[in-house]
Amino acid sequence: MENNSTWTPSAPSPTTWSRKSFPVVLTIIAVLGIVPIVLISNTIYFSYLLATHQMSRHIDPTLLSVRIVVISQLVTYVPLMAYLLAVVPYLANRSLAELGVRTPRWRELGIGLGGAIVMWLSVSAVAQVLSTLTHSHETESAVKVLREVHSPAQILGFVAVAVVFAPIVEEFAFRVFFFNAIARYSNTMIGAAVSGILFGLVHVVGMTDQGGIAGALLTVGIPLAFGGFVLAIVYARTGCYWANVLTHGLFNAASVIAVLVFHVSDS
């Protein structure tokens, strides 16, 4: 049965699907295919670092240099984005333009700007409430790296990844792919909730500070899940991928400014 979302975005709608869109088995295989791409790309890069003695085999991953962390992100993002661009339109039975990769309208950019404000307020509010209730706080890995940035080159590299590359790749993965695939078999709100949870979970991977994984989930994962929900609603409302990139990029930019310029500390 064809599923039509109850949310009415501006045309073209990415959440009205034919029966050929996102076949279950192929979609699951495509999702699982992301894992080897991430693992292989990072394995090749870190093997190179070890072979050229730029990194010790026994180094604590949390002590990696800013340069290595930034490059490792790029090494992951480039093949992952290439994979998604090849696979998602085929699975969705839609062109990239029909999936929202098109020139945004002014109204859609306005919604993207408003979404960034709502995302910042919701993530900050949820994080503060959970931190107060649990007396626990974890810092996202990217923020820890940001606090180690000192030189102009490091700042430029980090900003490029956080404000440009991360939103471009993550919005295609979590909204254009995951949100659409889930909404295809449910509805907009379920798709937004599940894709938001996945978004939050991915951002706590590798976080093992004093609060452990539970603390990371509470004070980073859950707030960012709310942020992912906002991003999904922006996408559903506009049907425009670039509106989402704007929302995500502005949110990340605000975080960078808060740490680098205003020296905000959430520890």
Residue range 182-229, pLDDT digits in tens:
999 999 999 999 999 999 999 887 655 545 677 678 788 999 999 999
Higher pLDDT, 193 or 158: 193
Residue 46 CB partners (closer than 8 Å, separation 6+): 55, 72
Mean pLDDT for all residues in the chain? 86
In terms of average pLDDT, the best of 4-13, 63-72, 76-85, 133-142 is 76-85
Q: What is the pLDDT of residue 219?
A: 81
Q: Which of 10-24, 72-86, 113-127 has the lowest mean pLDDT?
A: 10-24
Which DSSP string do the residues of 214-240 spell out, in sequence order?
A: HHHIIIIIHHHHHHHHHHHHHHHHH--
- CA dist., res. 174 & res. 199, Å (int): 7
The CB density around residue 16, as the number of other CB atoms within 10 Å, is 17
- CA dist., res. 1 & res. 121, Å (int): 38
Q: Is the pLDDT of residue 3 over 80?
A: no
Q: Is the pLDDT of residue 243 over 70?
A: yes
Q: How many angstroms separate the Cα of 258 from the Cα of each of 120, 143, 161, 214?
A: 12, 10, 17, 25
What average pLDDT does the segment 159-187 reach?
96
Q: What is the pLDDT of residue 61?
A: 55
| Residue 118 tokens, joined | 């709502």
> CA 206, 211, 215: angle at the middle one, nearest 5?
80
Residue ranges of domains in the chain = 24-260
Q: Any idea what DSSP says for residue 16?
A: B
The CB density around residue 117, as the number of other CB atoms within 10 Å, is 14
pTM: 0.88
| Cβ pair 139, 128 in contact under 8 A | no
Higher pLDDT, 188 or 144: 188
The CB density around residue 153, as the number of other CB atoms within 10 Å, is 12
Q: What is the pLDDT of residue 7?
A: 43
- CA dist., res. 238 & res. 248, Å (int): 14
In terms of average pLDDT, the best of 47-56, 109-118, 149-158 is 109-118
Q: Which of 20-29, 81-90, 202-211, 232-241 has the lowest mean pLDDT?
A: 202-211
pLDDT tens figures, 41-97: 999 998 998 888 777 665 555 556 788 888 999 999 999 999 999 999 999 999 999
